[in-house]
Amino acid sequence: MKRVAIYTRVSTNDGQTTENQLRDLHQAAERMGWTIVAHFTDEGISGAKGREKRPGLDALLKGIARREFDMVAAWSVCRLGRSLQHLVSLLGDMNSRGVDLYLHVQAIDTSTPSGRAMFGMLGVFAEFERAMISERVRAGIARSGKKGGRPPVDPAKVDKIRRALLKGTSINETARKHRVGVATVHRIKVAMAEPIAA
């Protein structure tokens, strides 16, 4: 008998209810002869949020890590998450623990050969999505003519920071007064201590 954990989620504006999701998943479990051993839910939470903002998902992942069930059943892939990368990462965790996934709307069951093939395809698409995002970021930087990283500090401000440090003002106080990061002030102080090349 397969031990199944159900995961349901609704956000505030998608018109879904967990009751609808539960009804379909209970019917599927009955049809397949599964035993539902746990139910995790997140209500009024966007699928774009990570596990730290989704207590139901966090508890589900802890149950997966402890191998408390053989399969996770969700109504649709979008209930688990909006990001393909997050989904593939979740599926990777489940796969490494030998826990399968059933998605009702997409009719995916990773305990079957066709479901495993679909899982493999999701990984390919996630890799493609990562490459596309990276390419768009590079193209955006090239178009704007900007270099990556933080913009340089204004030379007049650097001069004021140097003067403050020479007066004995602490790094933290100087950073606060001139509205720059502590690391920036530290970098300027280190540069001041370096000997000037002849």
Active site residue ranges: 11
- What are the beta bridge partners of residue 9? 42
Query: Residue written as tokens 């979008």?
Result: 78
Query: Residue written as tokens 């939470």?
Result: 45
The CA distance from 180 to 142, in Å, is 27
8 Å CB contact between 102 and 28 = yes
Which residues contact residue 91 at a Cβ distance below 8 angstroms, ignoring those fewer than 6 apart?
101, 110, 119, 122, 123
R_g over Cα of the chain:
26
